[in-house]
Amino acid sequence: MFKAFRILILLLILAGVALGAWRSKTRSVEWKYDLPVNIYPVNGDGSENVKQFLRTLTANDFKPIKTFMREEADRYDLASSASIEIRLGEIIEAVPPAPPRNGNALEAISWSLRMRWWAFRNADMTGPGPQVRMFLVYFDPAQTSRLDHSTGLQNGLIGRVNVFASYDMAKQNNVIITHEFLHTLGATDKYDPATNQPAYPDGYANPDLQPLVPQRHAEIMAGRTPVSQTEATIPESLNDVVIGGLTAQEINWQ
């Protein structure tokens, strides 16, 4: 009897967590108010260089993300409320758990739960309503040449993004941050993971362009600009990126 009661309580807690996640998922893309996007810098390699760099960051460094979202919302004729508010949070000393490299579904779920718990423990949010939390894990480019992949979770509205601690990379960092941020709102990847080549047609900024390649812009969830059938380049900044039709649908813009 007691055991059945315990299981019932556990099930109720799980149902509560699932319901909460579902509600913030749907409410995050209502676009009735500016959606708060909290950014938390993290020192990824513990180096003094990154530590110094993090101290110089301001909310202004991430303003291009808000501008991009606003300009793209305009293209889809959305009301002026369909925007985001960037809030720069405190530097977080702990490093969030890294996602499994080639993990199976169970490992991915286990990481997602640990990540949500970690975020709950380490990142404060103020104010009501759904809010996104983006953890930017910075690395010194002099020590790290290649970054592990970044992730955005729709459950919990959490992003974990690996970026370079360098002002030369700031514009490209904003492209990656925006990509992962849109994952938290339900946008899906639009490239072939085997080749990194954008998927046609949804990964193309202008799928009707004649000739089709080279494209001038990248679709944000494809991440690259197709310049030929087999080659694609990394956009330099959000000025070279658009939100394509399918991504717009996925984030409830259409």
What is the binding site for Zn ion (CB under 5 A)? 189
How does DSSP assign 95-153, residue by residue? PPPPPPSS--HHHHHHHHHHHHHHHHHH----SSS--EEEEEEEE-TTT-SSPPPPEEE
Closest distance between Zn ion and the C-beta of residue 68, in Å?
16
The alpha carbon of residue 128 and the mean position of all alpha carbons in its chain are separated, in whole angstroms, by 21
Nearer to Zn ion, 53 or 244 (CB): 244
Which SS3 state, helix, strand or coil, does residue 200 take?
A: coil
At its nearest, how many Å lie between Zn ion and the CB of residue 121? 25
Residue closer to Zn ion, measured from CB, 189 or 240: 189
Nearer to Zn ion, 57 or 69 (CB): 69
Name the residue nearer to Zn ion (CB basis): 84 or 187: 187
How far is the first Cα of the chain from the last one, in angstroms, to the nearest whole number?
51
Residue 5 beta carbon to Zn ion: minimum distance, rounded to whole angstroms:
42
Name the closest residue to Zn ion (Cβ).
189
Please choose, from the candidates 51, 19, 36, 140, the residue with its C-alpha nearest in 3D space to the C-alpha of residue 88.
36
For residue 208, the minimal CB distance to Zn ion (Å) is 24
What three-state secondary structure class fits 85?
strand
> CB within 8 A of 217, min separation 6: which ones?
205, 206, 225, 235, 240, 241, 242
Are 220 and 179 in contact, with CB atoms under 8 Å apart?
Answer: yes
Report in angstroms how near the CB of residue 108 gets to Zn ion at its nearest.
Answer: 14
Q: Which is nearer to Zn ion, 130 or 203 (CB)?
A: 203
* Minimum separation from the CB atom of position 70 to Zn ion (A): 22
CB of 154 vs Zn ion, minimal distance in Å: 12
Which H or E element spans position 63? Answer: helix 63-75
**Given the complex with Zn ion, which of 64 and 159 has the nearer CB atom?**
159
Q: Which of 133, 179 has the CB closer to Zn ion?
A: 179
Q: Are strands 232-233 and 225-226 parallel, antiparallel or unpaired?
A: antiparallel
Rounded-to-integer distance, Cα 117 and Cα 109, Å: 12
Q: Is 24 exposed, middle or buried (0-12, 13-18, 19+ CB in 10 A)?
A: middle
